[in-house]
Amino acid sequence: MTAAEFKNAVREGKPPAFKDADLVTCATCAVISGISAVMTIPAVAGADYRDCTSLSLNGIECSPVKVNDDGSAEVTVEAAAVSPDRTSETIPKNYCTGDLLRDIAEGKEIEISVGGKDGVVEDIIFPEDIISARISACIGAGENGCALVNGGENPLKNGHLFQPLGADFSEAFVYGCGEISPFVNDPDLRSMGAGTKILVNGVIGTITAINNGVESEGVFAGVKVGGPSLSVSADMKDMMPEFMGGLTSKSGRESVIAVAVAIPVLDSESIKALSVTDKEIPLPVIDLDKSVKVGDADYGAVWQDADRSIEVNPLNCLYCGGCPAGSLCPRKAVILGGGVIQSRCISCGRCLNTCPGEVYSMNTGSITIKEGCKEGITEGITEGMSIPIKLRLSDRRRAEEICEIMKEMIEDGEFSLTEN
């Protein structure tokens, strides 16, 4: 069963027993900057990768590591690479590694540019011509969850955020998929380790490393957020584009990834861990202005008392010049005239704040600073205080989708923890 099915049964007072499930599919869909790729690209007429001085795909710099006898080359695409501002209409500003990998998964043609001693060769290659491609990603501990607030007097801007964070604790930005996250359901890492088979963006991949030491802790404004980080790798063939792609932030370096893990139901300890629900999972609240943890909330308000996806009412569209909702959507998911490309939308909520016509609606909930949390509480924030969530940087809806996909693959015999 999926983690969502397991948790819903717990909430209904009918917690599953051993006989009810062998494996529970858990997942996260995170916004990260650590996605890189190794590809073997085809030879291009007029260019020789052996002595090229520059090489880019859709403006993203690549590094050749090996040139084969047939002229093809193995290249690396660095994590968080961003194309320089370009004149090409197909490559927008702040186009990043995540965008390139999604375009390849979508089968779009790719502009290749190879610089050499005789000048620059530009051509088009098609994804089906790419001989092999494999992505690697590190989902840092920060993605396991925290809420960012701002106790300062002015809105805060940060290269990783795609809208300023309101002053005076007026709003919160949240990370983390809560109760369905793999680390929540296997906190002692009994079933996850290097070599464990997983799903990455809908295809079978592997965990390459779990960093569970101090160095794995994510850092927000100097505040450490605990928990392991997860390194994964998978062949890009047949990856599902809706789980992929970049985000337009100030730095332009953020990408989306969805990873699912099948947690075996081993014993009563497994059942206990799998029975933890959103309301029981602490959500550290961090004041980005003063770099201090100001309290704990929980995931109940983030995912149980809120909508998972956006509603659209095109009849409200004011056809305002430039469509601010469209130009500020970090996923380029807004359609002019009031609409959303669902395969791109990550339900972040930004369009709620940027569309004057109220075309978009979604209850994003509020976090509550929990009673009893004294640590680091600063002036202006009090226990019991409610702070509206303005932006979500994890996509629970998408994470639940990949849990479902994994469950179906298990049922159809397409995925097992032990066989290929």
Q: Which is nearer to ligand SF4, 166 or 284 (CB)?
A: 166
Contact region with ligand SF4 (CB under 6 A), list: 16-24, 114-122, 266-274, 324-332: 324-332
User: In angstroms, what is the minimal distance from the CB of 247 to ligand SF4?
Assistant: 8
In 3D space, the residue among 395, 391, 403, 416 whose CA is nearest the CA of residue 162 turns out to be 391
Q: What mask of x and - would describe binding to ligand SF4 in positions 120 to 159, judged by CB under 6 A? A: ----------------------------------------
Q: Report the residue from 29, 32, 281, 359 that binds ligand SF4 according to the rule CB under 6 A.
A: 359
Q: Which residue is nearest to ligand SF4 (CB)?
A: 357
In 3D space, the residue among 29, 46, 119 whose CA is nearest the CA of residue 308 turns out to be 29
User: In angstroms, what is the minimal distance from the CB of 255 to ligand SF4?
Assistant: 14
Using alpha carbons only, give the angle 112, 116, 117 rounded to the nearest 5 degrees. Answer: 160
Contact region with ligand SF4 (CB under 6 A), list: 71-79, 230-238, 271-279, 332-340: 332-340
Q: Report the residue from 104, 133, 333, 399 that binds ligand SF4 according to the rule CB under 6 A.
A: 333
In 3D space, the residue among 77, 206, 208, 199 whose CA is nearest the CA of residue 132 turns out to be 77
Q: Does 319 bind ligand SF4 (CB under 6 A)?
A: yes
Contact region with ligand SF4 (CB under 6 A), list: 51-59, 92-100, 211-219, 316-324: 316-324
Contact region with ligand SF4 (CB under 6 A), list: 71-79, 195-203, 272-280, 354-362: 354-362
Q: Does 331 bind ligand SF4 (CB under 6 A)?
A: yes
C-alpha gyration radius of the chain: 22
Please spell the DSSP secondary structure of 171-240, one letter per residue.
Answer: -EEEE--GGGSHHHH-TT-SS--TT-EEEETTEEEEEEEEE-SGGG-EEETTEEE-S-EEEEEEE-TT--
Q: Does 174 bind ligand SF4 (CB under 6 A)?
A: no
Which residues share a beta bridge with 263? Answer: 24
Q: Does 348 bind ligand SF4 (CB under 6 A)?
A: yes
Please tell me the distance from the alpha carbon of residue 189 to that of residue 347, in angstroms, as a whole number.
30
Tell me how crowded residue 215 is: count the other CB atoms within 10 A of its CB: 8
3-state class (DSSP) for residue 146 = strand
DSSP state of 133: E
Q: Which is nearer to ligand SF4, 188 or 311 (CB)?
A: 311
Contact region with ligand SF4 (CB under 6 A), list: 42-50, 127-135, 277-285, 317-325: 317-325
Residue with tokens 């949240």: 174
Q: Which is nearer to ligand SF4, 45 or 315 (CB)?
A: 315
User: In angstroms, what is the minimal distance from the CB of 313 to ligand SF4?
Assistant: 10
Q: Does 30 bind ligand SF4 (CB under 6 A)?
A: no
CB 127 within 8 A of CB 107: yes
Q: Does 334 bind ligand SF4 (CB under 6 A)?
A: yes
Query: 324: part of which helix (H) or strand (E)?
Result: helix 324-328
CA 177, distance to chain mean position in Å, is: 10
Residue numbers of the site for ligand SF4 (CB under 6 A)?
310, 317-320, 323-326, 329-331, 333-334, 338, 340, 345-351, 355-357, 359-360
